[in-house]
Amino acid sequence: MGLLDVLPWRRAKRSVPAGDDEIFDDEFQRKLEYLALVSRRVFAGRLRAERRTKKSGSGVEFADHRDYQPGDDFRTLDWNVYQRFEKLLVRLFEEEEDLAIYFIVDASASMGFGDGRKLRYAKKVAAALAYVGLANLDRVSIVSTTDAISGRMPETRGKARIFKALRFLRAVRADGRTDLGDAMKTFVAQNKRRGLAVLVSDLYDPAGFEKGVNVLRYNKFDVFVVHVLDPSEGRPKLHGDVLVYDCETGDEREVTVTPKVLTRFAEAFDMHRADVERFCVTHQVPYVAASVEVPFDELILHVFRRGGFLR
């Protein structure tokens, strides 16, 4: 925080309310019901659901045979095998369980920069994906982060709980610094059940967004990165001598903005995005760049499906 933070108009710019009442309409909601989140891993569920688990149980998908043991349910005997080979074998089925899906929404001040369009966009994405998860009977949890876990919606399942998710998202406000590393350490400590972790953030982390992603990876979460981008931030309409003030850290820097500087800044902005994508590709982390200038339903219905995030 800089000295200029005592000025009221500067403090006001750091906290942006998220006007996010308009999440999605009914038609868009029906489209979402046909979608499901893709998890590359198979996680152990608690309740029966539509996800395969490592356990064999009462599902419909045949998994294997084993020798009959006394006490086994006779209904699981494979009589066809007995008729052929006169050997009593029990049929084993994959049991379908629910999936834990965590939506980690970045609620730092940078997400509310300007008119807060990035945070609104992130809320829409999180809400849409949460609906998809709830519709598939997955266990959905939503957390908001800054440099810690600033808010948490406990795990829930069933489409009817989407309104709970929306209420939670509506209450999220942009404020505070970004430190994904510390925030994710807290997250993994609070959530022992592994699952799908969807990180929705602008990834403006002075300490490096990689730390947060790595914390999730190292703790066996299946990480998806939704990189919320505002292209206008890469082409600021500035000129002359200005004092650049970081809305999160309060760092100041004198800059004389010239066309050449603006060009270099645009290059740095693009390079930052490329660095994020390169990191994700290198570490096999699904990555979707969500530009706020791309219509929301196109992002959900097309971009995410093309990226293999939804099926």
Partner 1 sequence: MIFSGLPLAELLAIFGAVGVGVVVLYILKLRRRVVVVPFSPLWERILRDKEATSLFSKLKRVLSLLLQLALLALLVLALGDPRAAESLVQGRTVVVLVDASASMQAVDVSPSRLEVARGEAKKIVRGLGGADRMLVAQMDAMVTPLGPVTADTSALEREVDAVRATDTRADFPRALRFASDVLRGVPRGEIVVVSDGALGEASDATGPVHLGDARLSFVKVGSGRRNVGVTQFAVRRYPLDKNRYEVMLELTNTGDAAEDVELQLLGDGALVDLTKLRLQPGERLPRFYPQLSGASRTLEANLALADGVRDDLAVDDHAYALLPERRRARVLVVTAGNAYLDAALLLDEYLDVTDVVPAAYSKAIATGGWDAVVFDGVTPAEMPRAHALYLDPRGDTGPVKVGPALVQPGFDKVDRRHPAVRFLALDDVNVSAGHRLVPQAGDKVLGASDGGASPLLVAGDRGGYRFVALGFDVRDSDLPLRMAWPLFVVDCINWFTDEDAQYLSTFRTGEVWRIPVAGGVAQASVKLPDGTTQSVPVHEGRAVMLGEHAGFYELTAGEQATSFAASLLDASESAIAPQDAPSVDGKAAGAPEGFRMGVRREIWIYLLLAVVLLTALEWATYHRRLTV
d(CA 134, CA 248): 34
249, 289, 291, 303: residue in contact with partner 1 (rule CB under 8 A): 249
Can you tell me which residue has the tokens 């038609």? 27
Q: Which is nearer to partner 1, 220 or 264 (CB)?
A: 264
Smallest separation (angstroms) from partner 1 to the CB of 266: 10
Smallest separation (angstroms) from partner 1 to the CB of 253: 6
188, 236, 289, 294: residue in contact with partner 1 (rule CB under 8 A): 236
- Side-chain half-sphere of 116: how many Cα atoms within 13 Å? 19
Its sign, for the CA torsion 52, 53, 58, 63, is positive
Can you tell me which residue has the tokens 């969500």? 290
Q: Which residues share a beta bridge with 103?
A: 142, 198
Instruction: Output the six-digit token pair for 86.
Output: 């006169």
* CA dihedral of residues 222, 28, 144, 234 (deg, nearest 10): 90
4, 47, 274, 281: residue in contact with partner 1 (rule CB under 8 A): 4
Q: Does 25 bind partner 1 (CB under 8 A)?
A: no
Q: Which is nearer to partner 1, 148 or 271 (CB)?
A: 271
Instruction: Output the six-digit token pair for 157.
Output: 């399942």
Smallest separation (angstroms) from partner 1 to the CB of 19: 18
Among the residue ranges 88-96, 155-163, 212-220, 253-261, the one whose residues contact partner 1 (CB under 8 A): 253-261
Write a three-state SS string for 13-62. Answer: CCCECCCCCCCCCHHHHHHHCCCCECCCCCCCCCCEEEEEEEEEECCCEE
d(CA 209, CA 95): 37
Among the residue ranges 37-45, 190-198, 209-217, 247-255, the one whose residues contact partner 1 (CB under 8 A): 247-255
Binding positions for partner 1, 174-213, rule CB under 8 A: 202, 204, 206
Instruction: Output the six-digit token pair for 62.
Output: 């045949």
Among the residue ranges 29-37, 48-56, 234-242, 280-288, the one whose residues contact partner 1 (CB under 8 A): 234-242
C-beta of residue 140 within 8 angstroms of C-beta of residue 101: yes
Kindly write out the interface string for residues 256-295 of this chain, putting x where it contacts partner 1 by CB under 8 A and - elsewhere: x-xxxx--xx-xxx-xx-----------------------
Smallest separation (angstroms) from partner 1 to the CB of 97: 41
Residue 176: CB partners within 8 Å, gap ≥ 6?
107, 108, 109, 146, 147, 150, 248
Q: Which residues share a beta bridge with 253?
A: 244
Q: Which is nearer to partner 1, 64 or 267 (CB)?
A: 267
Q: Which is nearer to partner 1, 78 or 182 (CB)?
A: 182
- CA-based nearest residue to 275, from 205, 217, 220, 194: 205
Binding positions for partner 1, 91-120, rule CB under 8 A: 109-110, 113-114
Q: Which is nearer to partner 1, 114 or 151 (CB)?
A: 114
Q: Which residues share a beta bridge with 44?
A: none
The residues of the shown chain that bind partner 1, judged by CB under 8 A, are 4, 10, 13-14, 109-110, 113-114, 202, 204, 206, 233, 236, 238, 240-249, 251, 253-256, 258-261, 264-265, 267-269, 271-272
